[in-house]
């Protein structure tokens, strides 16, 4: 009977040891997940370096990685609640958020139309200055195209078969050659 009690004690001890190890691993794993979420939020709040290149020799393209955050982190830390409230939406309705800052700068020569009116106009800009009233009427147009692409994790047979998602890239094409994208942040909310 002593041997069976000893075996039972050893089995109970091993079970307790294994369950303790599993519990500690679970706690460490949840701690690491929490750290990953915090780092994703910090990344979403910071500005990252983007690649810029040109197509058609004058149209700038801005490329950067999509930041993915959990829905709870977005609700707590990143959501622009005032804007969402003004649009009469709920934070839970938001799937992704894109913030872009543009800057347009150029030098133009105004053509005199008559003694008191100087104008300039092209595809993207229109300026009209009345020297008598000292009124400058201006309009600057811009057009942006945003594309979000998926980068696959695995490819075989020269890319014919693809699966898994490594991440997402966002491409922003600014069609106005006088404008430059100064800042962009695309946040995709994971469910």
> Per the domain annotation, does 35 fall within a domain?
yes
159 plus 96 within the same structural domain:
yes
2 plus 35 within the same structural domain:
yes
Beta carbons of 161 and 131 less than 8 angstroms apart: no
Q: Which two tokens stand for residue 90?
A: 């709920």
180 plus 162 within the same structural domain:
yes
Q: How confident is the model at residue 35 (pLDDT cuts 50, 70, 90)?
A: low
> Per the domain annotation, does 129 fall within a domain?
no
pLDDT digits (tens, 9 = 90+) for 68-94: 777 877 777 777 778 788 878 787 777
> Per the domain annotation, does 166 fall within a domain?
yes
Beta carbons of 64 and 101 less than 8 angstroms apart: no
Give the separation between CA 100 and CA 184, rounded to whole angstroms.
4
Domain count of the fold of the chain: 2
pLDDT digits (tens, 9 = 90+) for 133-190: 888 888 888 888 888 887 777 777 776 777 777 777 888 888 888 888 887 878 787 7
DSSP 5-24: HHHHHHHHHHHHHHHHHHHH
pLDDT of residue 42: 63
Give the separation between CA 164 and CA 72, rounded to whole angstroms.
24
Give the separation between CA 3 and CA 62, rounded to whole angstroms.
74
Give the separation between CA 15 and CA 13, rounded to whole angstroms.
5
Q: List the domain range (segments joined by +) for residue 65.
A: 48-103+142-191
* The model's pTM: 0.60
């Amino acid at each position: 009977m002593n041997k069976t009690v000893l075996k039972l004690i050893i089995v109970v001890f091993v079970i307790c040891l294994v369950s303790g190890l599993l519990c500690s691993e679970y706690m460490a794993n949840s701690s690491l997940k929490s750290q990953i979420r915090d780092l994703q939020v910090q990344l979403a709040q910071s500005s990252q370096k983007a690649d810029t290149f040109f197509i058609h020799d004058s149209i700038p393209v801005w490329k950067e990685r999509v930041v993915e955050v959990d829905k709870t982190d977005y609700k707590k830390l990143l959501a622009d609640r005032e804007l969402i409230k003004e649009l009469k939406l709920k934070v839970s309705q938001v799937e992704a958020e894109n913030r872009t800052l543009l800057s347009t700068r150029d030098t133009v020569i105004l053509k005199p139309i008559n003694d008191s009116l100087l104008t300039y106009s092209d595809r993207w800009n229109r300026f009209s200055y009345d020297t008598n009233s000292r009124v400058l009427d201006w309009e600057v147009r811009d057009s942006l195209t945003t594309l979000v692409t998926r980068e696959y994790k695995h490819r075989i047979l020269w890319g014919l078969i693809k699966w898994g998602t490594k991440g997402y890239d966002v491409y922003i094409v600014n069609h106005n050659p006088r404008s430059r994208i100064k800042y962009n942040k695309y946040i995709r909310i994971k469910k």
